[in-house]
Copies of this chain bind each other. A is one copy, B any other.
């Protein structure tokens, strides 16, 4: 089942998902935060602050701040790398996995609704 989108369908999908997310997500994650979250959960570990900063093309304090916020919300976890104690490893959480699972369901649902 190929992912073939017209320009109109692509924007329509983004529209529907964004709208639903704004309406029903109290968290209101920024695009940067969401990108970090997806990176951590979809790309094999390890994930470091430095690595994430390079990947997103932002500075390190941006990552630290985002991890502060998302850590308080239980979406990610941080722990020292015992092999090199300068590093901090960003780890997944149950709540984070649940959050992205719901987002995935939302995208699929809205994508299906586009063709009906």
Q: How many residues of A contact B (CB 8 A)?
A: 47
Q: A87 to chain B: closest CB distance in Å?
A: 22
* Segment of A70-78, A88-96, A108-116 in the binding face: A108-116
Known: A22-B31, A28-B32. A115 touches B14 (CB 8 A): no
Q: Which of B1, B23, B38, B101 contacts A15 (CB 8 A)?
A: B38
Tell me whether chain A's interface is mostly helix, strand or loop, or mixed.
Answer: helix
A residues near B (Cβ < 8 Å) are: 1-15, 18-19, 21-24, 28-32, 34-35, 38-39, 41-42, 55-58, 100-101, 103-105, 107-108, 111-112, 114-115
13 contacts between A and B (CB under 8 A): A10-B111, A11-B103, A12-B42, A13-B107, A15-B35, A18-B31, A18-B34, A19-B39, A21-B35, A22-B56, A22-B58, A30-B30, A31-B31
